[in-house]
Amino acid sequence: MATTLDINGKAVTAQAAPDTPLLWVLRDELGLTGTKFGCGLAQCGACTVHLDGQPIRSCVTLIAAVGAGKITTIEGLGGAHPVQQAWVRHDVPQCGYCQSGQIMSAAALLAENAKPSDEDIDSAMAGNICRCGAYQRIRAAIKDVAEGGAR
């Protein structure tokens, strides 16, 4: 069954069944491999993408549930997003596996709250696990963007 999705500003047709998780359509059918599979249970955040600007876990979001929503993946940020620039300046990634999900959560936070407090950052990023423990650098990069460092 064909489903039309709005991904990174483009209408694309997915041939997957309506009960297919968005993650697998992105990765396997559309070749957008920046979004990672982590746990498959919406617990780690590696698969985070935006749906109408809100961070969602694509591993548990069925394509039927997306409807006419606008999906943005890490590829849709274009590589020059202020959060991505801050990530580089603060040398955030170690293994890098969780980073696309971390960046997508941070970008959504900053789009909604340009000057987040530490508590706001903790709350927004709580669902993203970093096995390497780069949490201090993640926080520093988010604060850098909030202070105008990446603009």
For residue 55, the domain's CATH number is: 3.10.20.30
Mean pLDDT of 89-105: 95
For residue 136, the domain's CATH number is: 1.10.150.120
Mean pLDDT of 135-150: 92
One domain for residues 11 and 72: yes
Burial 92-127 (b: 16+ CB within 10 A, else e): bbeeebbbbbbbbbbbbbbeeeeebeeebbeebbee
pLDDT at residue 79, as a whole number: 85
One domain for residues 26 and 81: no
Mean pLDDT of 81-93: 96
One domain for residues 52 and 117: no
Report the predicted TM-score, pTM, of the whole model to 2 decimal places.
0.95
pLDDT above 90 coverage of the chain, percent: 95
Q: What range does the domain containing 68 cover?
A: 3-76
